[in-house]
Amino acid sequence: MGCRFHANRQFSCKNGTVKKVNSRNPFEANWQKQGVEILNKPILKDLIITGNPNIYGKLQFTQTEDIGDDFYLSGTACIGSAESDGEDNFDFTIITPKALERELRNGTKIILGMRTFILNSLDLELVTETINQILSRHQGETWQEVAESLSPYFSWEYTDSTHLDKDTFLEMINNQRDNSH
């Protein structure tokens, strides 16, 4: 069939047909059976930047401000799909070149660069824009596929979680119940 159902309810086909789909379920299951690919598209819903209040005078940063050029902060991008109220946490580090240099001078032998944004100053608009650019290049058939594709940039809160299907989960509950008697 060569068609895709995007998370924004846009249905497009290779022949150029594009239309907006108003109903969400039960048609999605039928489309999947007919070979239609349903894509999840991530969007940034919130951004949380935190630091040590003993150093910066506060825990959370909600806007761009001048805290100098020597800082090491934690970031959490709250990412979900446009069709969902939910969001998952994707963590990353924000650090300046001066803080990197200080870390190396203080005995750290190597700093691995995954999931790290290196900035000269705290600019939340730039961080938000960069995250949105990253997200615009990612989509997938399942949310897990989308989340895992973001792993070079962020640490997903469920990275090492075990995902169980309903039958396996119910079997575990029954086994636990049987073993507790």
User: Per residue in 136-180, pLDDT tens?
Assistant: 999 998 899 999 999 999 999 988 766 677 888 888 888 888 887
pLDDT, mean of residues 46-58: 88
SS3 content of the chain, % helix, strand, coil (to 5): 30, 30, 45
Q: Where are the beta strands (DSSP E) in 51-176?
A: 60-61, 72-81, 88-95, 116-118, 155-156
Q: What is the pLDDT of residue 2?
A: 44
Question: Pick from 60, 52, 74, 63: which is nearest to 154 by CA?
Answer: 74
Instruction: Find out whether 102 and 130 touch, Cβ atoms under 8 Å.
Output: no
Instruction: Find out whether 158 and 88 touch, Cβ atoms under 8 Å.
Output: yes
Q: Where are the beta strands (DSSP E) in 51-87?
A: 60-61, 72-81
Among the ranges given (32-36, 58-62, 159-163), the one the predictor scored with the smallest mean pLDDT: 32-36
To which residue do tokens 């290049």 refer? 137
22: confidence class by pLDDT, cuts 50, 70, 90? very low
Q: 92 in helix, strand or coil?
A: strand
55: confidence class by pLDDT, cuts 50, 70, 90? confident
Regarding predicted confidence, which is higher, 28 or 40? 40
Mean pLDDT of the chain: 81
Q: 154: buried, middle or exposed (CB in 10 Å: 19+, 13-18, 0-12)? A: buried
